A and B are shown apart, each in its own frame.
Chain A
Amino acid sequence: MENDKLILGGREFTSRFILGSGKYSLRLIEAAVKDAGAQIITLAVRRANTKEHESILDYIPKGVTLLPNTSGARDAKEAVRIARLARELGCGDFVKIEIMRDSKYLLPDNQETIKATETLAKEGFVVLPYMYPDLYAARDLVNAGAAAVMPLAAPIGSNKGLAAKEFIQILIDEIDLPIIVDAGIGRPSQACEAMEMGAAAVMANTALATAGDLPLMAGAFKNAIEAGRAAYLSGLGRVLTRGADASDPLTGFLR
């Protein structure tokens, strides 16, 4: 476990919990860093577009990697513009692409996301695209130069857990990039399950932001993610394999 590192854009992380940006407060960021051990924190560029009163950038502790996102973008062109602005603002080279053309469910638009990934990867960004878990789109994202793929587990903010479990498993099995499960994770047990499946990291926000005791929940996520990761690395035992064992060996007829 000690040498188990998450590598993104050439940078190493020991934490596999990433704080999302949807709902934000100083207390949330504190809890995420201190109690959940987050080393990557997402930041909505549009949200940082504010005057002195409450600049979010001031709240991000040193040593934490900023992951600016392009929320508010409705197509690839807008996402590219927001990403460039983030770089100008001094947010570094990491960018999480979020492109939504639906204000109701906020589901990502895979096609536009692929286009933006291609452009930004060529410009030297470490591109982490938020996507709907579709195998073809994930392969296109790999070819477009993504540094990881971030499929949603369930509609954002829904706390519904791994609704898209089967499709995320396919991405984990078939895509040679870190798969970071994003959106919809509502409780530590769901984060643990995603990690057991082989996800490289889990991103959450609402689950923490709306918890009764923020630091306690942050700690719970940390433990759950570490437990899931350890289970994955150890290889899951036979109690967890699918299907039942036949009492007579099926291959007993072989001589």
Chain B
Amino acid sequence: MDNQYFVDSDALSQAALEKKHRLENDPSSRTDHMAYLPGMERIQSDIMDKVIGQMKGYDPSKYTARDVRAALEHETCTIEDFKALLSPAAEPFLERMAEKARLETRKHFGNTVYLFTPLYIANYCENYCVYCGFNCYNHIRRMKLDLEQIEHEMEVIARSGMEEILILTGESRAQSDVQYIGEACKLARKYFRMAGLEIYPVNTDEYAYLHECGADYVTVFQETYDSDRYEQLHLMGHKRVWPYRFEAQERALRGGMRGVAFSALLGLADFRKDALATALHVYYLQRKYPHAEMSLSCPRLRPIVNNDKINPQDVGERQLCQVLCAYRIFLPFAGITVSSRESARFRNGIVKIAATKVSAGVSTGVGDHESKYSGQDTGGEQGDEQFEIDDGRSFDKMYKDMEGQGLQPVLNDYLYV
């Protein structure tokens, strides 16, 4: 059964509630999710057709154990092999997939594991995405850090030893404009060796500006590559425009970013098809922009403030592991990040097989690093979290745990040039 996403808050006015219900129940009240809004750049690209064409033609049930065995024996993994590895027929072969994945990971990355932490600087959002804690109808404590507060958060994080930061905002241009995010990037360069962004998609010239400010990596989650399903989950706001989001990584690369990251949010739609599309998005873009550094994430749905029932549906840990092994075998050169949405046990295991980057010292709230890191209420204002994390390990603990797994934690392997 699908998740029960709709939650009505007492804080909403009658008019707001009516609009919310209309959006939820009457598809005709929603805008065309395939139409670009004014100001959204359109680029000429054939990537979308290639990815979606493959995804639509993919029938996971038609693959057999024989296809999986062949895929495991091939030295290079073709798209057909990858489809077999993602299929239910591959489930009994999980251990063999993990062995092959581990070999590829070690070949390309050695025994290293990169550490980073996210920093949410604002949680205002103009979109109604039904599964997300930041959605505009969810009654949570909203907050936007000013530059002084951002700098303070960065100081606290940098003091822990972290050298790579991922700056996030809720998706609100009005509250968190590109200039504001740019200033945050400039501050990040002072405190960290590497800065990435996970913000609303922007135009090429805006990515170029943010690159100038010091960011070099851009993460955009497509959530689901099934645009019809996307339409049912993203009911309002600019995020509703599916193709503009799809083209974000390509615009970021054209804007001069060194690397881009991709993901579907597993649990929203058919996860096998979404995993296929995510990896092919990487695959085709890498062919077009061969210099770019590519990486994948693999978030599963998590409970949010005011809705603790949201869960990843049929994507259990075994399925997630299968997807990650298949990613690694198909795209041996791509980074794979596993976030604190997953448990410490799962992350300790998956870094030995396929993952190359984990977060630590994580807060998905706003302005609460000092209280979280010190374990004391520091009295300041705080914004609520985007989702509940599972693995709350600190930087130090993660560093030691990764060493304990026989891996070498790497804090930085990057230079801004």
Whether A103 and B412, one on each chain, are in contact in the complex, defined by CB atoms closer than 8 angstroms, is no
Which single member of A72, A103, A157 contacts B107 (CB below 8 Å)? A157
Whether A209 and B107, one on each chain, are in contact in the complex, defined by CB atoms closer than 8 angstroms, is no
**B87-117 interface with A by 8 A CB criterion:** 106-112
Tell me whether B291 is interfacial, beta carbon within 8 Å. yes
Whether A104 and B414, one on each chain, are in contact in the complex, defined by CB atoms closer than 8 angstroms, is no
Question: How many of B's residues come within 8 Å of A, CB to CB?
Answer: 26
Complexed CA–CA distance, A100 and B291 (Å):
7
- Interface flags for B380-399 (1: CB within 8 Å of A; 0: not) read 00000000000000000000
Whether B411 and A103, one on each chain, are in contact in the complex, defined by CB atoms closer than 8 angstroms, is no
Whether B112 and A49, one on each chain, are in contact in the complex, defined by CB atoms closer than 8 angstroms, is no
Complexed CA–CA distance, A148 and B333 (Å):
29
Q: A74-B291, A103-B333, A104-B290 are in contact. Are A22 and B417 (CB under 8 A)?
A: no
Which A residues touch B112, using CB under 8 A? 23
Which B residues touch A73, using CB under 8 A? 417
- Interface flags for A185-196 (1: CB within 8 Å of B; 0: not) read 000000000000
Whether B415 and A82, one on each chain, are in contact in the complex, defined by CB atoms closer than 8 angstroms, is yes
Tell me whether A46 is interfacial, beta carbon within 8 Å. yes
Tell me whether A51 is interfacial, beta carbon within 8 Å. yes
Complexed CA–CA distance, A244 and B401 (Å):
60
Tell me whether A88 is interfacial, beta carbon within 8 Å. no
Which single member of A104, A209, A210 contacts B286 (CB below 8 Å)? A104
Smallest CB–CB gap between A132 and chain B, Å? 15
Q: A22-B110, A51-B163, A104-B333 are in contact. Are A46 and B415 (CB under 8 A)?
A: yes
Complexed CA–CA distance, A100 and B411 (Å):
22
Whether B163 and A23, one on each chain, are in contact in the complex, defined by CB atoms closer than 8 angstroms, is no
Who on chain B is nearest to A105 by CB? B333
Which B residues touch A22, using CB under 8 A? 110
- Interface flags for A33-58 (1: CB within 8 Å of B; 0: not) read 00000000000111101110110000
Who on chain A is nearest to B292 by CB? A103
Who on chain B is nearest to A74 by CB? B291
Whether B411 and A51, one on each chain, are in contact in the complex, defined by CB atoms closer than 8 angstroms, is yes
**B360-417 interface with A by 8 A CB criterion:** 408-415, 417
Whether A47 and B107, one on each chain, are in contact in the complex, defined by CB atoms closer than 8 angstroms, is no
Tell me whether B206 is interfacial, beta carbon within 8 Å. no
Q: A23-B111, A24-B110, A49-B193 are in contact. Are A101 and B414 (CB under 8 A)?
A: no
- Interface flags for A68-95 (1: CB within 8 Å of B; 0: not) read 0000111000100110010000000000
Whether A72 and B294, one on each chain, are in contact in the complex, defined by CB atoms closer than 8 angstroms, is no
Smallest CB–CB gap between B113 and chain A, Å? 12
Whether B161 and A51, one on each chain, are in contact in the complex, defined by CB atoms closer than 8 angstroms, is yes
Which single member of B107, B408, B412, B417 contacts A158 (CB below 8 Å)? B107
Smallest CB–CB gap between B347 and chain A, Å? 20
Whether A101 and B193, one on each chain, are in contact in the complex, defined by CB atoms closer than 8 angstroms, is no
Count A/B pairs, Cβ under 8 Å: 76
Who on chain B is nearest to A100 by CB? B291
Secondary structure dominating the interface of B: loop
**A129-186 interface with B by 8 A CB criterion:** 157-159
Tell me whether B293 is interfacial, beta carbon within 8 Å. yes
Which A residues touch B293, using CB under 8 A? 103
Q: How large is the interface on A (under 10, 10 to 19, 20 to 34, 35 or more residues)?
A: 20 to 34
Whether A44 and B110, one on each chain, are in contact in the complex, defined by CB atoms closer than 8 angstroms, is no
Whether A49 and B107, one on each chain, are in contact in the complex, defined by CB atoms closer than 8 angstroms, is no
Tell me whether A245 is interfacial, beta carbon within 8 Å. no
Whether B413 and A25, one on each chain, are in contact in the complex, defined by CB atoms closer than 8 angstroms, is no
Smallest CB–CB gap between A56 and chain B, Å? 10
Smallest CB–CB gap between A110 and chain B, Å? 15
Which A residues touch B408, using CB under 8 A? 24-25
Tell me whether A2 is interfacial, beta carbon within 8 Å. no
Smallest CB–CB gap between A75 and chain B, Å? 9
Complexed CA–CA distance, A158 and B104 (Å):
10
Complexed CA–CA distance, A78 and B256 (Å):
14
Whether B292 and A72, one on each chain, are in contact in the complex, defined by CB atoms closer than 8 angstroms, is no
Which A residues touch B414, using CB under 8 A? 46, 49, 72
Which single member of A49, A51, A210 contacts B106 (CB below 8 Å)? A210
Tell me whether A206 is interfacial, beta carbon within 8 Å. yes
Whether A103 and B417, one on each chain, are in contact in the complex, defined by CB atoms closer than 8 angstroms, is no
Smallest CB–CB gap between B336 and chain A, Å? 14
Q: A23-B111, A85-B415 are in contact. Are A53 and B291 (CB under 8 A)?
A: no
Tell me whether A213 is interfacial, beta carbon within 8 Å. no
Which B residues touch A49, using CB under 8 A? 193, 412, 414-415
Q: A73-B417, A103-B290, A104-B290 are in contact. Are A50 and B412 (CB under 8 A)?
A: yes
Complexed CA–CA distance, A45 and B291 (Å):
19
Q: Which interface residue of B163, B291, B414 has the most chain A CB atoms within 10 A?
A: B291
Whether A78 and B417, one on each chain, are in contact in the complex, defined by CB atoms closer than 8 angstroms, is yes
Which single member of A101, A157, A158, A209 contacts B290 (CB below 8 Å)? A101
Complexed CA–CA distance, A206 and B109 (Å):
10
Whether A101 and B291, one on each chain, are in contact in the complex, defined by CB atoms closer than 8 angstroms, is yes
Who on chain A is nearest to B399 by CB? A53
**A5-49 interface with B by 8 A CB criterion:** 22-25, 44-47, 49
Complexed CA–CA distance, A157 and B107 (Å):
6
Who on chain A is nearest to B331 by CB? A104
Complexed CA–CA distance, A25 and B415 (Å):
20
**B267-317 interface with A by 8 A CB criterion:** 286, 290-294
Whether A102 and B163, one on each chain, are in contact in the complex, defined by CB atoms closer than 8 angstroms, is no
Further 9 A-B residue pairs, CB within 8 A, beyond A22-B110, A24-B110, A81-B417: A25-B110, A49-B415, A50-B411, A72-B415, A85-B415, A102-B290, A103-B294, A103-B333, A106-B333
Chain A contact residues, CB within 8 Å of chain B? 22-25, 44-47, 49-51, 53-54, 72-74, 78, 81-82, 85, 100-106, 157-159, 206, 209-210
> Closest 6 interchain pairs by CB?
A23-B110, A46-B415, A101-B291, A78-B417, A102-B290, A50-B412
The 7 listed contacts between A and B (C-beta, < 8 Å) are A23-B110, A23-B112, A47-B410, A49-B414, A50-B193, A74-B291, A103-B290
